[in-house]
A and B are shown apart, each in its own frame.
Chain A
Amino acid sequence: MPGRDRRELAAIFAGGVVGALLRVALAQTHAGVAPGWPWVTFAENILGTFLLGYFATRLQERLPLSAYRRPLLGTGFCGAFTTFSTMQVELLTMLDAHRYGLAIAYAASSVIVGYGSVHLATLYVRRVRTIA
């Protein structure tokens, strides 16, 4: 189905455009809010991860199967709005400055809060289903 594939790719591209623009806009407008702790990357990653947990669970378990919502919202938007590479370079910069405690705190809190936000979003979608 080349036609379906092309629309799926267009959905991923469109979601990626919006996710990247929003991520860069937040970084540009909030640069250096709090030196030391990368608040912008942290907040973007946590928000995007909560949204992906919500979309992925809802699209998989609640809504009728759609070929374009998951590529648009999940792979495209949430995938592009959140970032791994920037986080790794931020960690590397902390290690360069011998701020090992800060690096461990940043990595651990990103993983713990990120994981928790997927968990909460998943529970939220499933709880709504049980009531409805």
Chain B
Amino acid sequence: MSLPVWIAVGVLGGIGALGRFFVDGIVAARAGRDFPLGTLVVNVSGATLLGLLVGLGFTGNRLLLAGTATLGSYTTFSTWMLETQRLVEDGELALAGANVLVSLVVGVGAAALGRYVGARV
């Protein structure tokens, strides 16, 4: 990998993290913080877009930069797990279980939908 590509990976990774911060903030401002809907919206939208890129036939550096670097940073596994564990600590077992299952089912479904749409445009 060339230096310009590495620089682009870093910059796009930073932009992805900022995008997550803004989307999470906007969703939480509307929906509150009882359920971590902001992270769910971030992760599902990111999975949809990554599926879309795959469907559009992105490979190599294009997939690396738009997908792995940008969307990889935009979506997050660690916050999803932290928020789930904090829900359990607060005794919100049903919400914690829902956060895990909904994220996984809707996440895979969203990736599949994105890929389907990408392959047909």
Q: Do the two shown chains form a genuine complex with each other? A: yes
Binding site for B on A (CB under 8 A): 9, 12-21, 23-24, 27-28, 45, 48-49, 51-53, 56, 71, 74-76, 78-89, 91-92, 95, 107, 110-111, 114-115, 117-119, 122
What's the minimum C-beta distance from A66 to chain B, rounded to whole angstroms? 17
What's the minimum C-beta distance from A53 to chain B, rounded to whole angstroms? 6
Chain B residues touching A, range: 35 or more
Given contacts A12-B17, A79-B17, 5 further A-B pairs with CB under 8 A are A16-B18, A83-B73, A84-B75, A111-B81, A114-B81
Tell me what chain A mostly uses at the interface: helix, strand, loop, or mixed: helix
Contacting residue for B17 out of A19, A119, A122, CB 8 A: A19
In the assembled complex, the Cα of A89 lies from the Cα of B84 at a distance in Å of 22
- A89–B14 CB distance below 8 A: no
- A82–B18 CB distance below 8 A: no
Tell me what chain B mostly uses at the interface: helix, strand, loop, or mixed: helix
In the assembled complex, the Cα of A14 lies from the Cα of B64 at a distance in Å of 19
- A20–B75 CB distance below 8 A: no
- B47–A115 CB distance below 8 A: no
A89 with B111, Cβ < 8 A, contacts A20-B69, A23-B72, A119-B85 known: yes
